[in-house]
């Protein structure tokens, strides 16, 4: 190996100052691209505190580059996680979600984590290293600039690290419970992990590109998880073919986030639409199940009303449909918004809608937005999805021309004290805390049965 002497370095310096770009690259390679220099550079880099390394990555615009915790970082995280177990009084539960905490779709995973943290659990929520562009926002890029542990809410910790590190941390922590939603997430669980398992079915799996392995793993966890839940009657009926104790646990709402007593200014990008006497709104995913024909038919029938979309399109085909739809003068697409911004938009809707096409997927859907609309005190117009027929505050529509008639009925009720009281009561009966308490009670019952030897906890080492 060639070692640069003082004389050589002086020569390099003269050469550098009198050379072009190509020659400078050669000089840099001769000076630094040696095993010793590479080793020293890596050692110096990993000697920096973890949060410094992450900050430097982002300042160099390489924030998505994988940053592995050092042994010292790892031990510090394990020590913090170990403190959870030593407290004893709070149940330790880890989430294996597929969505970033800072997603434009802040829904069941994040909300259940918060509610469980408020109702007696110490929750660790894995923040994935990469996120899908459809749910990416400026806020998500800003907030995700960390590696390791970060307390995000009372009783809730985010952990952001590469998958290999996460599996090692999970193996070291051995939490009492693991909760996950998708069969493929079993890859995130280390072999031999003794944790109890909550397996939730939150959508009809026809939404996913399933295969034989997916189906095999799904069947395994339905049969062997300690607790199995479904968010809609149709899903629970499917689960109970294998598990007669499958629990119905629909979605919910954090009512305080939608406080009717707070006056929000009209958001700047809603001002133009708000000039109309009526704003008909929708927020959430914009996908194949959204009834474009009904939505646009109503917009053409009422050019004096504004029809406002907020949300994230599923794929290029939906983006093209949205572009075409907004050629209609009174149709507005405002893009995706972070959860914290939604109450201001919803406050300035006159009617909130869920105009979905009816099919097995939508009949098996428990829309989070339904309960948020209720909590905000907004009249709700929705198609007749089976899961929401049970709620009396919804104005149901058959679509087409009937959509406008249902909106008219909703507008007539928007100031009716009795109707507003009904909305408030149905929202309050469907809070995330209520869901978390129900799940917590079932977890306690499972723990009690296993302590008496009536049940055997599931271990991931039993995967076949």
Q: Which of 149, 193, 145 is nearest to 168 (CA)?
A: 193
Residue entry with tokens 């050469």: 15
Contact 341, 187 (CB under 8 A): no
pLDDT for res 61: 45
Spell out the CATH class of 71-252+457-462: alpha beta
Fold of 261-428: Rossmann fold (3.40.50)
Residue entry with tokens 């869920």: 354
Lowest mean pLDDT among 14-23, 133-142, 243-252: 14-23
Rounded distance between C-alpha atoms, residue 26 and residue 175, angstroms: 52
Mean per-residue pLDDT, 165-189: 89
Q: From the CB of residue 410, how many other CB atoms can be counted at a distance below 10 Å? A: 22
Q: Which residues of 338-362 are buried (b: 16+ CB within 10 A; e: fewer)?
A: ebebbbbbbbbbbbbbbbbbeeebb
Rounded distance between C-alpha atoms, residue 144 and residue 362, angstroms: 32
Return the higher-pLDDT residue of 278 and 48. Answer: 278
Lowest mean pLDDT among 66-80, 259-273, 282-296: 66-80
Query: CB neighbours of 115 closer than 8 A, spacing ≥ 6?
Result: 252, 254, 431, 432, 433, 435, 436
Contact 270, 345 (CB under 8 A): yes
10 pLDDT band, cuts 50/70/90, is: very low
Task: Decide: helix, strand or coil at residue 210.
Answer: coil
Rounded distance between C-alpha atoms, residue 349 and residue 353, angstroms: 10
Say whether 261-428 and 71-252+457-462 share the same fold.
yes
Q: What φ, ψ does residue 258 adopt, rounded to 5°?
A: -120, 35
Q: From the CB of residue 83, how many other CB atoms can be counted at a distance below 10 Å? A: 9
Question: What tens digit of pLDDT does each residue of 378-394 get?
Answer: 999 999 999 999 999 99
Question: What tens digit of pLDDT does each residue of 304-328 get?
Answer: 999 999 998 888 889 999 999 999 9
| Domain range summary for the chain, segments of one domain joined by + | 6-47, 71-252+457-462, 261-428
Query: CB neighbours of 85 closer than 8 A, spacing ≥ 6?
Result: 92, 173, 174
pLDDT for res 95: 93
> 330 to each of 299, 304, 315, 380, 382, how far by Cα in Å?
7, 8, 24, 20, 20
Rounded distance between C-alpha atoms, residue 114 and residue 121, angstroms: 9
pLDDT for res 460: 43
Rounded distance between C-alpha atoms, residue 372 and residue 254, angstroms: 8
Rounded distance between C-alpha atoms, residue 222 and residue 241, angstroms: 10
Rounded distance between C-alpha atoms, residue 247 and residue 231, angstroms: 9
pLDDT for res 227: 97
Mean pLDDT rounded to a whole number for the chain: 84
Return the higher-pLDDT residue of 395 and 144. Answer: 395
pLDDT for res 361: 93
Mean per-residue pLDDT, 37-64: 55
186 pLDDT band, cuts 50/70/90, is: confident
């Amino acid at each position: 190996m060639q070692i640069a002497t003082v004389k050589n370095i002086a020569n390099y310096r003269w050469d550098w100052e009198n050379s072009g770009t190509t020659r400078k690259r050669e000089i840099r390679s001769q000076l630094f691209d040696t095993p010793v220099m590479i080793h020293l550079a890596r050692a110096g880099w990993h000697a920096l505190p973890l949060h410094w390394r992450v900050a430097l990555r982002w300042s160099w615009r390489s924030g998505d580059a994988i940053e592995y915790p050092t042994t010292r970082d790892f031990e510090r995280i394990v020590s913090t996680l170990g403190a959870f177990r030593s407290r004893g009084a709070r149940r330790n539960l880890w989430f294996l979600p597929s969505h970033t905490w800072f997603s434009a779709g802040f829904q069941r995973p994040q909300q259940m984590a918060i509610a469980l943290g408020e109702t007696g659990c110490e929750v660790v929520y894995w923040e994935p290293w990469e996120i899908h562009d459809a749910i990416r926002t400026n806020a998500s890029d800003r907030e995700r600039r960390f590696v390791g542990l970060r307390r995000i809410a009372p009783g809730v910790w985010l952990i952001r690290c590469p998958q290999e590190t996460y599996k090692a941390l999970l193996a070291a922590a051995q939490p009492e419970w693991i909760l996950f939603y998708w069969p493929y997430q079993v890859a995130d669980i280390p072999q031999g992990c003794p944790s109890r398992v909550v397996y939730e079915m939150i959508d009809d799996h026809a939404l996913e590109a399933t295969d034989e392995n997916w189906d095999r793993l799904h069947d395994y966890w339905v049969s062997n998880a300690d607790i199995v839940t479904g968010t809609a009657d149709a899903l629970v009926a499917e689960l109970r073919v294998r598990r007669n104790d499958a629990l119905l646990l629909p979605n919910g709402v954090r009512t305080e986030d939608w406080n009717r007593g707070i006056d929000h200014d009209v958001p700047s990008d809603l001002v133009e639409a708000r000039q109309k006497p009526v704003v008909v709104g929708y927020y959430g995913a914009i996908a194949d199940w959204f009834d474009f024909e009904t939505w646009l038919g109503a917009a053409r029938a009422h050019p004096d009303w504004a029809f406002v979309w907020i949300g994230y399109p599923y794929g290029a085909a939906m983006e093209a449909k949205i572009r075409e739809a907004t050629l209609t003068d009174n149709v507005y697409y405002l893009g995706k918004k972070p959860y914290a911004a939604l109450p201001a938009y919803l406050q300035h809707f006159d009617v909130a809608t869920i105009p979905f096409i009816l099919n097995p997927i939508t009949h098996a859907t428990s829309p989070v937005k339904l309960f948020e609309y209720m909590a905000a005190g907004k009249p709700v117009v929705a198609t007749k999805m089976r899961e929401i027929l049970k709620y009396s505050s919804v104005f149901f529509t058959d679509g087409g021309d009937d959509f406008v008639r249902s909106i008219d009925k909703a507008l007539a009720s928007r100031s009716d004290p009795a109707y507003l009281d009904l909305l408030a009561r149905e929202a309050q009966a469907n809070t995330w805390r209520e869901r978390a308490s129900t799940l917590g009670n079932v977890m306690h019952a499972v723990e009690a049965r296993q302590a008496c030897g009536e049940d055997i906890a599931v271990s991931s080492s039993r995967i076949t």
